[in-house]
Structure 1
Amino acid sequence: MLSSRLSENKWALAHSFGTIYGVEEARAMMEVLEDWAPTCGRKVKEFEERFAAHEGAKHAIAANSWVGAAHLVAIVLDIKPGDEIVVPAITFHASANIFVREGAKIVFAESDPRTFNLDPEKLEEKITSRTKAIVAVHMCGQPCDMDPILRIARRHNVKVIQDAAHAPGAEYRGKKLGEMGDFVIYSFQQCKNMSTLGEGGMVVTNDDEAAEKMRKLRSHGGGEYPGINSRMTDVQGAVGLVQLARLDRHNEARRKLAYYLNELLEDVEGITTPYEIPDVKHVYHLYNTLVDEKAIGMTRDEFIRALWEREGIKAITQYHPTVNCLPAYRAMGHGEGECPVSEETASKIVTLPLCPRFTESDMEELVEGIKRVIKR
C-alpha cells in the first residue's frame, strides 16, 4: 500500500514499523465497519483459532496488548506478594513490570552473551522455594534453549512463561513455541513482525481450565471473577488474520536479509553478527550486533551517532542499561553487579535496521555506510 511515510528515512522507519500493510487489511477493516465494528467478536475468535493452530497450541486468547495478555497469565497463576519470578536481565522491562504490579519479587538471571537469551547454565542458581515462574524471553526472534529450561522448571515445579513478543512463527528443534511450556505471550505492537493496528497481544496455552478462565477474565470476569478489560476489537482481529497470512513470508524475508547481512559484515572488524544456536528457526525481529569499541576506533555511541550524521543510517541501542539497572528497579534494591555478564553484553549492543520492506541492495547500502564510518 502506498503511504506518505515512504518518503521518510527508511532506516528510521524500520525500527518503528516492523510489518507491511496492504489493501487486504483495508478491505478487512471495511468489512468489520460494515458490521458496526464490534468488540471481540467473530473476527477475533477466528484470529484466535488460526493463531493457535499456527503456533501449535490448543488455545489462543487475544488481548489489547502484550501487557494485557500477560496480566491474564499473572491472574491465572495467582501471582501475589512473596512470589518470585525469574526474568532475564536483558529484555524490555515489560517482561518484569506486570508481575511487579501483582506484588511479585523479580529475580534477575544472566543472559547468554551470544544470543541475549536466558542462560540455562545460570538459571537454576536463581530458583528458590518461593519461585513461581520463569520468564523465557525469545530475544530478537530466536527461541531460548528450551529443553534445559523446561527440565529445570519441572525439577522445581515452577511454571514457564515464554515471552514471544519478538518471535511469532519461530521454532525450536522442530517444535512451535505453543507446544512448549505453560503459556506463550505475543505482541502485535507496531514494530513487531506482525501487527494489529499498532497494539495487540495474544496468549496461547494447552491448559483448558486456564484458557477458559482467561477468556472470562479479559471481559470483566463474567461475574465469576473480579476481572479486567483487555479485549481485542474485531477490527484488530480482522487485520490480524491478514497479517498472520503474511507472517511466514515476512519472516522468511527477514531471515534471508539477516543471512545476507551476516555475509556482508563478515570481514568488518569490530562488528560481531548474531549467533544462532543449532536447530532453531530465528525470525529476526531484531538484528543485534556487538561492537568492539577498540577495534572500530570509537565508542558505541559515537559509532551510532556517526552512522546517522554522516550516512543517514539509523542504528539504535537497546536493553542498555539492563532492566535491573533501570531507576524503577534500583528503587527496589536492584542495581549494577547483579548480572555482570548481561550488563557488559548490553553495553556493546547495536541494533541495525532490518524489516521485510528491505532488499539485498538496501543491505549492501547499509554495510557500505558502516564501512565508511569505521574507516573515516
Structure 2
Amino acid sequence: MLSPRLEENKWDLPHSYGSMYGVEEAQAMLEVLNEWAPTNNKRVREYESRFSTFVGASYGVATNSWGGAAHLVAIMMDIKEGDEIIVPAMAMSATANIFVREGAKIVFAESNPRTFNIDVEKLEEKITSKTKAIIIVHMCGQPCDMDPIVDIARRHGLLLVQDAAHAPGAMYKGKGLGEFGDYVIYSFHQAKNICTLGEGGMVVTNNKEWAEKLKKLRGHGAGLYIGVSNRMTEIQAAVGLVQLDRIKTHTETRRRLSYYINEFIRDIDGLSTPYEISDVYHVYHLYNLLVDEKRLGMTKNELMRYLWKKRRIMAISYYPTVNCLPPYKELGHGEGECPITEEMAARAIALPMSPRYTEADIEEMVTGIRDVVNMRKKGLI
C-alpha cells in the first residue's frame, strides 16, 4: 500500500517510476550504520557476486552510479584519437557522454521504430576501419537482438558494450544479458527497477583480469594505474541486496500491469502499445507508447500536457535523440542524421510504471487517458 502522501501524488514524479522501499531496506541500513557505515566492504562484495550471477555474468564491479561504471569501461577501452564508437541515437546522452569525454568520436546509429532498440539491419553500415566498439541500449527493458549483434562485433573484432540501465533481469533466448559481449553496465538510480538510495551502478564481465583491473581503477588505481574514485558504499549495497531479493516479484508486477494496460488502450485509435519481440524476457522499466498525431487528434506534447492538467497523470517524453542535443551539434551532429529515430522520438512517450501500482491504479490511469482523448474529440480541450 502507498502511504497517504504517496497515494495523493501517485501519478507524479518521482513516485510514478522506479522501485519501492520497505522496512527491510531500513533495517539493512541500520545494520550498516551500527558498523559506522564503511565503504566498499563485505556487502559490496556480496552484492557484486549475487547481482552478476543474477544477470548471467561471472564478475561484477559495483560503483556509485551508472556513469561511474561506464567511466571505468571507457578507461579500460584505452580510447585513442580518432577511435569511433557506435551508439544508438535513441538513448540517454550519458550513453555517449562518457566515451566522448575519453576522446572517442561517436557514430550514431538508427533504432528500430517497433522495438526502440538499435536497428541491426542498419548497424553494419556504420562500421569503418576506425570503429573500436559498439554500444547498445536495451530500451525500456526489452533486450536487443543479441545473436546478430554479437556476430557483427566478433566478425569485425569490435568490443561490445551493453547499456542495460533499463534491463536488470532481462533475458534473451533464456540467457541473461551478462552472457553476451564484453561489458554490461547497469544503473541503480532512483528511477530504475533496482534502486540503491538514489544512485548506484555496476559493470559485469566474464573476463577475470578485466574485473580485477576495474576494481583497482575504481579505487584511485591502487597505485598501479591512474584511476578514479567511484566506489559503492556499504549502505547502498545493503539496500541493493534487499532490492535484489524483490526484483523477480517486482518484474512480474511490471509485466502484468503492462499487459493490463495493453488490453485497456489497444483500441484507442492513434496510440500504439509496446511491441514485444519473441524469445525475450522484457522487464518493462518503461511502458512506451507511440502517438499518431493525425489519428489521435493531438500531438504527444498536447497529450502529456492534458494528462497532467486534467488527470494529474505524469507521462514523460523520451530522450530527444542524442545527435540533436546542443553539445553534439557543436561536434558536427544534428537533425537528419538518424531520421527514422528522430521521427520516432518525436512520437514516443512513457506512462507511469512501478511495482507500487495495482490493477485498480492502472484502471484509474487508463480511464484518465480515455477521458482526455474523448474530451479532445468533443472539442472540450
Same fold (TM over 0.5): yes
> What displacement does 1:11 show?
1.2
- 5 Å matches for 1:219-368? 219-320=219-320, 322-368=321-367
Partner of 1:139: 139
Contact 2:288 2:349 in 1 (8 A): yes
Range with greater deviation from structure 2 (132-141 or 359-368): 359-368
Contact 2:12 2:312 in 1 (8 A): no
Matched letter for residue 190 of structure 1: Q
Partner of 1:130: 130
Matched letter for residue 195 of structure 2: S
Partner of 1:26: 26
- Name the CA distance, whole Å, in 2 between partners of 1:278 and 1:124: 23
> What displacement does 1:81 show?
2.1
- 5 Å matches for 1:136-175? 136-175=136-175
Mark the CA change 1:357 to 1:14 in structure 2 (over 3 Å): closer, same or farther.
farther
Partner of 1:86: 86
Partner of 2:378: none
- 5 Å matches for 1:3-152? 3=3, 5-13=5-13, 17-152=17-152
Map Cα deviations across residues 232-267 of structure 1 (whole Å, 9 max, x no partner): 000101111000110111011000000111111121
- Name the CA distance, whole Å, in 2 between partners of 1:240 and 1:362: 27
Gaps of 5+ in 1: none
Mark the CA change 1:15 to 1:143 in structure 2 (over 3 Å): closer, same or farther.
farther
Range with greater deviation from structure 2 (5-14 or 70-79): 5-14
Matched letter for residue 337 of structure 2: E
Q: Secondary structure, in 3 states, of the residue corresponding to 1:369?
A: helix
- Name the CA distance, whole Å, in 2 between partners of 1:308 and 1:20: 23
> What displacement does 1:206 show?
0.2
> What displacement does 1:120 show?
0.4
Contact 1:16 1:190 in 2 (8 A): no
Range with greater deviation from structure 2 (7-16 or 95-104): 7-16
> What displacement does 1:372 show?
1.2
RMSD (Å), alpha carbons: 1.2
Matched letter for residue 140 of structure 1: C
Matched letter for residue 293 of structure 1: E
Matched letter for residue 329 of structure 2: R
Q: TM-score, normalised by structure 1?
A: 0.98
Q: Secondary structure, in 3 states, of the residue corresponding to 1:213?
A: helix
Contact 1:14 1:354 in 2 (8 A): no
Gaps of 5+ in 2: 376-381
Mark the CA change 1:14 to 1:250 in structure 2 (over 3 Å): closer, same or farther.
farther
Matched letter for residue 72 of structure 1: L
- Name the CA distance, whole Å, in 1 between partners of 2:370 and 2:297: 12
Matched letter for residue 346 of structure 1: A
Mark the CA change 1:2 to 1:374 in structure 2 (over 3 Å): closer, same or farther.
closer
Contact 2:89 2:341 in 1 (8 A): yes
Q: TM-score, normalised by structure 2?
A: 0.96
Partner of 2:205: 205
Contact 1:150 1:160 in 2 (8 A): yes
- Name the CA distance, whole Å, in 2 between partners of 1:34 and 1:4: 30
Partner of 2:186: 186
> What displacement does 1:13 show?
3.4
Matched letter for residue 238 of structure 1: A
Matched letter for residue 115 of structure 1: T
Percentage of matched positions with identical amino acids = 65
Map Cα deviations across residues 8-35 of structure 1 (whole Å, 9 max, x no partner): 4211136664111011111111111111
Map Cα deviations across residues 54-84 of structure 1 (whole Å, 9 max, x no partner): 1111100000000100111111111232111
Matched letter for residue 359 of structure 2: E
> What displacement does 1:375 show?
1.3
Contact 2:17 2:353 in 1 (8 A): no
Contact 1:288 1:349 in 2 (8 A): yes
- Name the CA distance, whole Å, in 2 between partners of 1:34 and 1:298: 55
- Name the CA distance, whole Å, in 1 between partners of 2:2 and 2:140: 28
Contact 2:159 2:181 in 1 (8 A): yes
Partner of 2:373: 374
> What displacement does 1:302 show?
1.1
Q: Secondary structure, in 3 states, of the residue corresponding to 2:360?
A: helix
Mark the CA change 1:3 to 1:234 in structure 2 (over 3 Å): closer, same or farther.
farther
- Name the CA distance, whole Å, in 2 between partners of 1:358 and 1:79: 44
Matched letter for residue 209 of structure 1: E
> What displacement does 1:5 show?
4.1
Matched letter for residue 10 of structure 1: K
